[in-house]
Amino acid sequence: MSKVRTRFAPSPTGDLHIGGARTALFNWLFAKKMKGVFILRIEDTDVERSTQEAVQGILDAMKWLGLDWDEGPYFQSERFRLYQEVAERLLREGKAYRCYCKPEELEEKRKEALRAGRKPKYDRSCLERRVHPLNQPFAIRFLSSDHGETVVDDLIQGRIVFDNSELDDLIILRSDGYPTYNFSVVVDDGTMGITHVIRGNDHLNNTPRQIQIYQALEYPLPKFAHVPMILGPDKKKLSKRHGAPSVMEYKKMGYLPEAVVNYLVRLGWSYGDQEEFTLEELIEKFTLEAVGRSPAAINPGKLDWLNSQYIKKKDLDGLVRLFRPFIEEKGYFISDIETLRKIVSSLRERVKTLVEMANLSEFYFTQEVSYEEGGAKKFLTSDSLLIFNEMREALLKERVLNRETAHRLIQNLSEKQGLPLVKIAQPVRVALTGRTASPPLDEVMEILGPERVIQRLERAVKYIEQKEEK
């Protein structure tokens, strides 16, 4: 058996979205599983819509997901001469013919066929043409078989039979010399030795046309595997109304690449009840036979859960590196890496995304906390003044503030005031964080340090006194 060669071939007309990313992932996993070759090919023949920015976006997204390629990226725009040579060969062999019909003529033929109740296929009026007009532009059409059947033995969808009489003599080279998709993809896959074409099932109807071109060019036929589409949570076609974010949007939203990969592979592929997989496990366990035929619906809640698991398990220094840009985006910069490690450690069990972590960590960085959210103000009353002042006095006597010291101070104050711990801790929590929920208070106090804890207690005292004066 020849070495497995798969490819991912996006068009650089926009961002790489989750449907394309999943296709890339399935190709990558299958190639890795079979110890084969994964190729990246950029299908940029749509010159008007293709952009270098989109190309870079695709490369960045692939790298972020960890989908490294063994060959490429190849660009179709650099292969025009090859497409033209192959089209000329088909002309010479009588497997294609020149078409001089103008767009308006073709449109009239289409309308006439519809009026007559016929399938709007090209009528082959140029096939029998014996005189070729000089200096008149022409397209090249593939002469398709119009009898018998073309069979697709799909590795996911099963055996599908197409009636050749339903197929058209499709244009393979336009009059401007640009190849069409169905032609260029066959030439590329054939000359690159692709053994398995794994792609979305929106390409399934193109497959019989492509098979006929493979046969005409005497290229080895690859195995086809058409992956079902991804639907929105409402089971309707995925669209912008569902958010349908690009891969790099997931990065901006604070998801870890490992979580996104795990999430994408589970959209259509299953392995018992197992939900979490390492990349090594995915390579070991992935098979095309386990890809379902039915569309998979996105589940944002599942991604959030997966991401929270990966955040909890990520090595701390790696998580700090990923987190840092999110807090810096808010304008906070910290050079003390040990403090940053403590902050991330204090929040990693509580968040679903790095954006959420950045939002919840702001009280560690800001100079002044706000008491205006989430019912915080109700804990800042005259009853809290004694607690804050006592805590401040106790802190001034301490040389070191760590978790043990902080816990002891809260415990002592609780006993001295004759109040439950929560009655001490909650007002202090609000004074230090501006929130009614936070990481453990002794942890918060250690990270803030004695000076900032005292400053915030004093500010809370002033806030209460000003409120009492009004």
- Fill in the DSSP letter of residue 353: S
- Does the pLDDT at position 118 exceed 90? no
Q: What is the mean pLDDT of residues 169-174?
A: 96
Region of poorest pLDDT, from 33-37, 131-135, 357-361, 380-384: 131-135
> How far is residue 436 from each of residues 94, 229, 373, 417, measured CA to CA in Å?
79, 44, 9, 21
Whether the per-residue pLDDT at 136 is higher than 70: the answer is yes
Judged against a pLDDT cut of 80, whether residue 314 lies above it is answered with yes
- Could you read off the pLDDT of 183-237 as tens digits, one per residue? 999 999 999 999 999 999 999 999 999 999 999 999 999 999 999 999 888 888 8
Q: Residue 173's pLDDT is what?
A: 97
Average pLDDT value for residue range 407-435: 93
Alpha helices in 361-402 (DSSP H): 362-365, 382-396
pLDDT at 241 over 70: no
Longest dimension (CA), the chain: 108
Cβ-based neighbours of 177, under 8 Å, separated by 6 or more: 80, 84
What's the confidence (pLDDT) of residue 183?
Answer: 98
Structure confidence at residue 321 (pLDDT):
96
pLDDT, tens only, 327-343: 999 999 888 899 999 99
Res 344 pLDDT > 90: yes
| Band of residue 243 on the pLDDT scale cut at 50, 70, 90 | low
For the segment 369-388, the average pLDDT, to the nearest whole number, is: 86
77 pLDDT band, cuts 50/70/90, is very high
- Rounded to whole angstroms, the Cα distance separating 101 from 136 reads 10
Counting Cβ atoms within 10 Å, is residue 193 exposed (0-12), middle (13-18) or buried (19+)?
middle
- For the chain, give the percent of residues with pLDDT over 70: 98
Query: Is 235 a residue of the active site?
Result: no
Query: Which element (helix H / strand E) includes 75?
Result: strand 71-75
Confidence of residue 372 (pLDDT cuts 50, 70, 90): confident
| pLDDT-above-90 percentage for the chain | 77
Q: What burial letters (b/e) apply to 440-457, b meaning 16+ CB within 10 Å?
A: ebbbbbbbbebeebbbbb
User: Does the pLDDT value for residue 1 go beyond 60?
Assistant: no
pLDDT at 377: 82
Judged on CB neighbours under 10 Å (0-12, 13-18, 19+), 339 is middle
Considering the candidates 240, 397, 462, 470, report the single residue annotated as catalytic: 240
List, for residues 15-62, the tens digit of each pLDDT value.
999 999 999 999 999 999 999 999 999 999 888 889 999 999 999 999
Residue 242: pLDDT over 70: no
pLDDT given at position 110: 83
446 pLDDT exceeds 70? yes
Rounded distance between C-alpha atoms, residue 90 and residue 389, angstroms: 91
